[in-house]
Amino acid sequence: MYSKAIVKFTVATACALFLSCAGSPALQQPAQEISLESTPKKYPNGSETVFWNTSTSGGDLIIVGVGGLQMYDSGSIQHALEDAARKVSLFAGLRGVAVYYENIGSSFWRYNVAHTTKIDYNEDYLGYIERLRYDPDRDIIINERGAFIRVRYELPEPFHVVHPSSGSETEKPDWVVTPPSSVAGFTAGVGYAPPQMYPNRAYVASYEAAIANLVGKGSTSIEAKNVQVQGEGYNYDNIQENTITASAVIDGFYILQVWVDPTDGGVYTLAIAQFVKGL
């Protein structure tokens, strides 16, 4: 059912996949194609250790869950586990609808753009937590950007994909500069989220934006209409309204790489899907 290769999460920042560790010693080192090999962790004892190697030859899903900081480490880790479980549920299958609305008039003030995405998936995903495997001494980071946990989830059939990393601590990866339409035979999508007040939320917004990008590759309908509105006096303005709606069923949604822009903390996500079909 699933193609066979090797899953490899790679990191375009010096900290690693899913992390931007501003102010940590790791940022002072040249960027390398490693996964948190030398990044200090604050859990459980603040020591530095070699961990977070997300390459696999076993065919399991390797997922990094991201959670917000709580009063106690246990609460932060629980939030990260819930995010990881949600990603397992998204891999199992989802339906998405993305709507893009554009309002254009002759005046600068008449320009407006809005977009939204609705994702339907198995929201009873917390049951997956019991099947997530991780080493509490090697697979957890808690820092100023949130809690991060690397987990394995065993699938009935192996899942593998190969995609080499590119970019560096200061250079955007190739897939950010030129988003690919496919990776290793899978449909690819790239999402971006600007920095937010709570950094961990940017990671979630980024992979949801990647879902929206994949949904846009399903079926699309476009509705356009002209509206005339009266301005001051006898002045009239013709408004062009465009609504683009895309919908799709997505199977095998999987996050391959994440890059955090060191200049502002914006988060980019490269994701793939085994199957994207318009509704």
> Within a domain: residue 234?
no
> Within a domain: residue 199?
yes
> Within a domain: residue 237?
no
What's the pLDDT score for residue 161?
76
What's the pLDDT score for residue 5?
34
Counting the structural domains of the chain, the total is 1
Least confident of 50-64, 79-93, 145-159, 198-212: 50-64
**Residue 22: band (very low, low, confident or very high) from pLDDT cuts 50, 70, 90:** very low
> Within a domain: residue 224?
no
> Within a domain: residue 225?
no
Q: For the chain, give the mean pLDDT.
A: 76
Range of the domain at 162: 25-93+120-219+252-278
pLDDT in tens, 160-196: 876 777 666 667 889 999 999 998 889 999 999 999 9
**Residue 235: band (very low, low, confident or very high) from pLDDT cuts 50, 70, 90:** low
Q: What pTM was computed for the model?
A: 0.76
What's the pLDDT score for residue 8?
35
Percent of the chain with pLDDT strictly greater than 90: 38
Alpha-helical segments (H) within 151-221 = 174-177, 199-215
pLDDT in tens, 89-143: 999 999 999 998 887 766 655 677 888 899 999 999 999 999 999 988 888 888 8
Least confident of 92-96, 116-120, 211-215, 225-229: 225-229
Phi, psi values for residue 194, rounded to 5°: -70, 165
Close Cβ partners of 23 (under 8 Å, ≥ 6 residues apart): 144
> Within a domain: residue 66?
yes
Q: Give dist(CA 15, CA 145) in Å, integer.
A: 12
Q: Give dist(CA 178, CA 216) in Å, integer.
A: 17
> Within a domain: residue 49?
yes
What's the pLDDT score for residue 90?
96
pLDDT in tens, 199-209: 889 999 999 99
Question: Please, are residues 211 and 198 in contact by the beta-carbon 8 Å criterion?
Answer: no
> Within a domain: residue 163?
yes
What's the pLDDT score for residue 118?
93
What's the pLDDT score for residue 128?
96
